[in-house]
Structure 1
Amino acid sequence: MNEYSFTIHICLTGRVIRFAACTRTGLRKPQSRLRAWISEDSLMDAPAANPMTTAASDRASDILDKVKSVFALNGFEGTSMQDLAQATQMSVGNFYRYFPSKDAIVTALVKRDLEEIEALFDAVRSAEDPGAMFMTLLRHELETLPFEKAALWSEVQAASYRCPEITALMRTMDETVRSNVVVALVRIHGDDSPEAREIFETRAQLLMALVHGFAQRKYCACETADPAKTAAFAELVLSTLHDTIFASPSKPAK
């Protein structure tokens, strides 16, 4: 005759329900009994996981704001987690509680920008004059684009080549912007025909290339750029954006 016992701990809504089972097995007729009870001190055994609080979420957003300049200054590869923790005046261990890796930080930055992009295009779609609103947002983006932001997104683009998760997010962002531009053009021209949408799809690609290219040029020429020439370049880009947005979608007669 042999005897054994075991205990199972199940965490449920912050309490541990302990099931203790003792089984005595004989040669002919097995007998078993099961006892279960809830321990009042179970919270000490297995505390329930708490969702991120509003304060923690705000803290994470504050961290993202502070680390952007570090990435822009040192580059993605040239920045260590210790550099990032120092920029936020946190210990490295505490910093890891919010972001376990640089890839996690970049992922959070891309996701946050996606939310901001959606909000901007919501403003365009709901505006009384969507064309004027679209041009106002584009002008603000080009005229106030800081070097830090241009540098950051160049680094994010580079990071996407080696990290599949960032690659997927960047593709999602690209698709989000493209589809929103098409919807904005439909709203501006009041034409949702398949023919017009085909033209708007092509124009969306051009608009995105112009804005991305402007940001890339600003990043590459940051130390040698003449402010007057940069402003003139921005006006040329804005003029091209304006013509692309407001040109009639009607195809020329063959």
Structure 2
Amino acid sequence: MVVHHGLQGRSRVTLRRDDARSHARSLPSMRFRTVRSKQFMRRGAAMARACQPVSSSGQRLQTGSGLTFGALSEMRMNIHSHSYRALMPPPVPAPQPSAALSERHIRILDAAERVFARAGFHAATMQDVAAEAGMSPGNLYRYFSAKDAIIEGMTERDRSLIAEDFGNLCPNNGALLDQLEKLGRRHLVHQPREKAVIALQIWAEAARNPGMARMCADIEGTVIEGLAAAIRDAKANGELAPRLDEGRFLMAISMMADGFFCRRAMDPNFDLTAAADTLFDGMRQLAQTMLLPETETQS
């Protein structure tokens, strides 16, 4: 204890003794923190030993100089994270191409089409799709892991519908060109304009995205395969000319349909009725005039 002589002759005591008492009171808290730290380090060391690789003889292998306090903290946080994920509901398996889509999958894909048509693939977010579908983002991720998975689901749904439609082309259902016009109007005219907008975005993305290009090629291959088989049957039963150049005819109507989609996507005032009539009249004229020379035969 040190005594200082202050004003009016009074003595003022600087309480080193009180400082010592304050320090003594803080010791239990310090000891508690020290014990907790040691306990934490012991648990971290046990975790590190549990994660340490074991040789065939049962001896633990050394993988480094040891875990730092930061590494142990990160390990602890990861354990809590995995515990939280374990409480999350499991993801819903994506439907196989041949399986019917669930009501929830259909709702998400329809919502995604509206969002992508408004904002575009890159600007739209999973949160936007979830809000449009009327569900939480966490629930959305149970069905689709990312935007690319949603886009893949959209294209696969379209491919399946197209494959089913063209697979139903049959001479018993009437003239082939009449059936083709009915299908064309269903997919090009009666669908909402958003379908054309999304198709345009997919084609643009396919120019720099190999995965998207493969999906587009799959849809194109499905259409061409169905059409080629139907045209061969129509030529065999005399409905179409035997000398019809199948390759050029299929290329021509495919490009005409693509152009129709592009114009509809870009022009909100596009005259659907006049354009559709022009498209299908042109298809019928090409079927009569796009012939091989008489000296040539098709393989």
Same fold (TM over 0.5): yes
Q: Please show how residues 102-121 of structure 1 align to structure 2 within 5 Å.
A: 102-121=147-166
- Give the conservation status (yes or no) of the 8 Å contact 1:67–1:84: yes
1:85 aligns with 2:130: yes
CA contact (8 A) 1:139 1:238 kept: no
Which of 181, 192, 195 lines up with 2:227 in the alignment?
Answer: 181
Q: TM-score, normalised by structure 1?
A: 0.69
Which has more radius of gyration?
A: 2
Contact 2:130 2:136 in 1 (8 A): yes
Q: Look up the equivalent residue of 2:183 and give its one-letter code.
A: L
CA change 1:55–1:201 in 2 (3 A) is closer
Change (3 A) 1:143 1:249: same
1:33 aligned partner: none
Deviation by residue 1:71-113 (Cα, 9 ceiling, x = unmatched): 1111111211111111111111111111111111111111111
Q: Is the Cα–Cα contact under 8 Å of residues 127 and 133 in structure 1 kept in the other structure?
A: no
Paired residue for 1:235? Answer: 277
- Greater Cα offset, 154-163 or 49-58: 49-58
Amino acid of the structure 2 residue aligned with 1:95: L
Q: Is the 8 A contact 1:135 1:242 kept in 2?
A: no
Cα 1:55–1:243 change in 2 (3 A) is closer
Change over 3 Å in CA distance of 1:250–1:167 after alignment to 2: closer
* 1:85/1:24 CA distance change after superposition, 3 Å: closer
Residues 1:139 and 2:185 aligned together? yes
Render the CA deviation track for 1:168-187: whole Å, top value 9, x for unaligned. 11111111211221112112
User: 1:167 is matched with which residue: 202, 206, 213?
Assistant: 213
**Do the aligned partners of 1:196 and 1:250 also contact (CA within 8 Å) in 2?**
no
Distance 2:192 2:262 in 1: 12
Residue number in structure 1 paired with 2:198: 152
Q: Cα RMSD over matched residues? A: 3.5
Q: Which structure exhibits the higher relative contact order, with contacts defined as CA atoms closer than 8 Å and separated by 6 or more residues?
A: 1
1:18 is matched with: none
Distance across 2 between alignment mates of 1:68 and 1:184: 31
Residues 235/89 of structure 1: CA separation in 2 closer, same or farther (3 Å cut): same
> Are 2:105 and 1:60 aligned?
yes
Instruction: Give the whole-Å Cα distance in 2 for the aligned partners of 1:49 and 1:103.
Output: 16
Larger % of strand: which?
1
Q: State the 1:220 CA deviation.
A: 0.8
Unaligned runs of 5+ in 2: 1-56, 60-85
Q: For residues 143 and 57 of structure 1, do their structure 2 counterparts lie closer, same or farther at Cα, with a shift above 3 Å needed?
A: closer
Provide the rounded CA distance (Å) in 2 between the counterparts of 1:253 and 1:77: 53
Equivalent residue number for residue 8 of structure 1: none
Partner Cα separation in structure 1 for residue 146 and residue 131 of structure 2: 15
Cα gap change, 1:180 to 1:89, in 2 (>3 Å): same
Report the CA distance shift for 1:97/1:82 in structure 2 as closer, same or farther (over 3 A): same
Task: State the Cα distance separating 1:128 from its structure 2 match.
Answer: 3.4
Number of corresponding residues: 207
Give the alignment's TM-score, normalised by structure 2: 0.60
Q: Which has the higher helix share?
A: 2
Q: CA separation of 1:233/1:64 partners in 2, compared to 1, >3 Å: closer, same or farther?
A: same
Matched residues, percent identical? 25
Structure 1 gap ranges (5+): 1-22, 26-43
Q: Following the alignment from structure 1 to structure 2, what is the Cα–Cα distance between the partners of residues 105 and 137?
A: 26
